[in-house]
Structure 1
Amino acid sequence: MTDDVQLSIGLPNFGPWPDGDWRGFVDVARAAEDAGIDRVVLVDHVVMGPNTDKYVWGRFPTPPEAPWSEPLTLLAGMAAVTSRIRLATGILVAPLRGATLLAKTAATLDQISGGRLELGVGTGWQREEYDAAGLDWDLRGRLLTDTIAACKALWTQTPAAFASETVNFSDTYLMPKPVQPGGVPLWIGGTLNKRNLARIVESGDGWIPIMGLSTEDMARDVVTIRQALADAGRDPAALRVQGPIPMAKGDDGKFDLARTMDNAAEVVAAGATALQLPIQAFCPGPKEAPAFFAEARRLFDAALGR
């Protein structure tokens, strides 16, 4: 069944694509909603260090001095001009914000959006961000685990209590709660190692595979996650997966939207529930976004036989 599979569009809240017009960038979400896009996703860096050459997943998309807007702030602006589309991060470097502040910010954003927020979270790859925040880079995995578990406690308990190596509180009230039952959905990003699998089973609602993972390997890992959820007494069918659609080029050597969308069905078969496309690969800027969204929606529905 593909009726509940979502079309998810990555929006570049960084670099030259918005052309410096951040107020106009908010309207891109409204254009996406008008075209029937299901979900938009923003990415995160709080600050940048000079060593972008250490990015191991290819060429980093911007120099360190390029603008990079804070995603939760932009999503709040998008929430104000939309009513249906899901608003997501993929990923947010959760440990940089601290558990209580992140829980409060996310709960507030979920409230003003009417329950449309989804947090894709991870540790990030850049040591300089942790250094600038006064956090121990070597503890980043523990910080992520504790941060998301503490957020879950704050969203679901009144009063809340949580105790771990890095986050501790008791008799603590966070109000208002998120609109969504159980709190804001948490999509755990990254390679499916032992620690990330444990995070998904204990606190997660979804998984965002690491960049560059093949569709075949994603399918294998989805099976692993679903089995681990079942073993823990959770419903494996409830797992959400953000699967990238393999990019295809046309005869001119440029990325071709129609040929790319021909790959959508194989990603669904591999277990993806939200099929992800980066808008900047096909669309030069916000002015062209409405036409891109309409064509992407048409091709997506056709590829899935809708």
Structure 2
Amino acid sequence: MPKVGIRLPSFIPNEGSNSPGEVFRYLRSIEELGYDSIFTIDHLQTAAPTYPVNWFDCLSMLSAVASVTKKVRFGPLVLVLPLYHPAWLAKSLATIDYLSNGRLIVGLGVGWSKAEFEAMGVPLSSRGKIMDESLEILRELWTRDNVSFDGEFFKFHDVSIEPKPIQKPYPPIWIGGGNQPFGKIYGMNVGDVTPALGRIARYADGWSHHLSSTAEMISQDWNVISRLAQRFGRNSEEIEIIYSNFIFVVRKRTDYEKCERALARITTLPFEEAKKTYLIGTDEEIIGRLRRVPLATGRVDHIVLNPLSWDLEQIRTISEKIMGEMQGE
């Protein structure tokens, strides 16, 4: 039975108000409605053409989630790891895990926005190698004291961080990545994803494939991950499979117009193409699509749904009409 979570519609601007009180009310409502988890996206700036909007800061939002909820798991999905110094990030994430009494999930990605990497002075072409070093450093600093590291990108001596994470040995690490068809739409070259799949096979406690990936792509990627996991002495059954997608539940015909306006604020993807990729439709139509999701891999352990606005009615409808169906209730 998969867990079901919400990824926050944390883009700015948005329809209606984004006052702090409304954001906190939204976070509390997710927990009160029985969802298992809350996630947030991570972007420094607008990442056009894919996301022509800006976003709340990821780590600040995670601190807010920790402060106003009591039970739900939460985390970034995904945080662009190569844009952060791993020693500082290890301390920040460990502190959030500590303050939330061990509820953090650490979703990480390699990133893709050239503009963001240029703004941070990080070479885009080296992001895979930087991420590998960063993953090693995170795990070391979360589990040991007096850590020294001598890598190509990071070098330090005798570093310890406190607090250590509540979860032992450290919070679950989810890693996003894999093949996707959006290169044809946005003119971006996805390239060889084998290194990314190898990273997932080696380090990940959970794998989140791209929301645009076809069933064939997901199946092929999972077969590669499973094979590579064996090389690293791991059983792929230990790796959770996460399905994540944008969602808009249509209750009446005029909702399609509302959905199209909401989508136009966050993506340049044509609406007809978006309807094929994202979960847009009636609750029955969305349930039908979600039921087909496990066919590519044999299972799905966590479903993360990303509403297109801060409309509380959307998360209520998902909870009442969709969540129970997906969890076999």
Once residues 28 and 219 of structure 2 are traced to their aligned partners in structure 1, the CA distance between those partners, rounded to angstroms, is 33
Say which SS state the counterpart of residue 78 (structure 2) adopts.
Answer: strand
Query: CA 1:227–1:138 in 2, change beyond 3 Å: closer, same or farther?
Result: closer
Query: CA 1:201–1:170 in 2, change beyond 3 Å: closer, same or farther?
Result: farther
The corresponding residue for 1:122 is: 109
Cα shift at 1:248: 9.0
Map 1:156-195 → 2, pairs under 5 A: 156-191=143-178, 193-195=193-195
Once residues 77 and 101 of structure 2 are traced to their aligned partners in structure 1, the CA distance between those partners, rounded to angstroms, is 20
Contact between 1:86 and 1:118, CA under 8 Å: does it hold in 2? yes
Map 1:25-64 → 2, pairs under 5 A: 25-48=23-46, 52-53=48-49, 55=50, 60=51, 62-63=52-53
Query: CA 1:272–1:137 in 2, change beyond 3 Å: closer, same or farther?
Result: same
Query: CA 1:265–1:290 in 2, change beyond 3 Å: closer, same or farther?
Result: closer
Normalised TM-score (structure 1): 0.84
Once residues 8 and 249 of structure 2 are traced to their aligned partners in structure 1, the CA distance between those partners, rounded to angstroms, is 20
Contact between 1:262 and 1:303, CA under 8 Å: does it hold in 2? no
Match of 2:70 among 79, 83, 88: 83
Say which SS state the counterpart of residue 197 (structure 1) adopts.
Answer: helix
Q: What is the CA deviation profile of residues 267-303 of structure 1, one whole-angstrom value per residue up to 9, with x for unaligned ones?
A: 23433211122222xxx534435523532xx522224
The corresponding residue for 1:218 is: 218
Normalised TM-score (structure 2): 0.79
Contact between 2:211 and 2:243, CA under 8 Å: does it hold in 1? no
Map 1:276-287 → 2, pairs under 5 A: 276-280=304-308, 284-287=309-312
Gaps of 5+ in 1: none
Root-mean-square deviation over aligned CA pairs:
2.5
Give the letter for the 1:39 counterpart.
S
Contact between 2:26 and 2:310, CA under 8 Å: does it hold in 1? no
Map 1:80-159 → 2, pairs under 5 A: 80-159=67-146
Gaps of 5+ in 2: 180-192, 257-279
Structure 1, 261-270 or 153-162: larger mean CA deviation: 261-270
The corresponding residue for 1:200 is: 200
Once residues 291 and 23 of structure 2 are traced to their aligned partners in structure 1, the CA distance between those partners, rounded to angstroms, is 30
Structure 1, 180-189 or 253-262: larger mean CA deviation: 253-262
Query: CA 1:48–1:263 in 2, change beyond 3 Å: closer, same or farther?
Result: closer
Query: CA 1:113–1:71 in 2, change beyond 3 Å: closer, same or farther?
Result: same
Give the letter for the 1:43 counterpart.
I
Contact between 1:9 and 1:277, CA under 8 Å: does it hold in 2? yes
Say which SS state the counterpart of residue 117 (structure 1) adopts.
Answer: coil
Map 1:245-260 → 2, pairs under 5 A: 252=253, 255-260=281-286
Q: What is the CA deviation profile of residues 211-246 of structure 1, one whole-angstrom value per residue up to 9, with x for unaligned ones?
A: 310234323322332332233222322201211369
Match of 1:14 among 11, 15, 29: 11
The corresponding residue for 2:235 is: 235
The corresponding residue for 2:324 is: 301
Once residues 212 and 156 of structure 1 are traced to their aligned partners in structure 2, the CA distance between those partners, rounded to angstroms, is 36
The count of residues paired between Structure 1 and Structure 2 equals 287
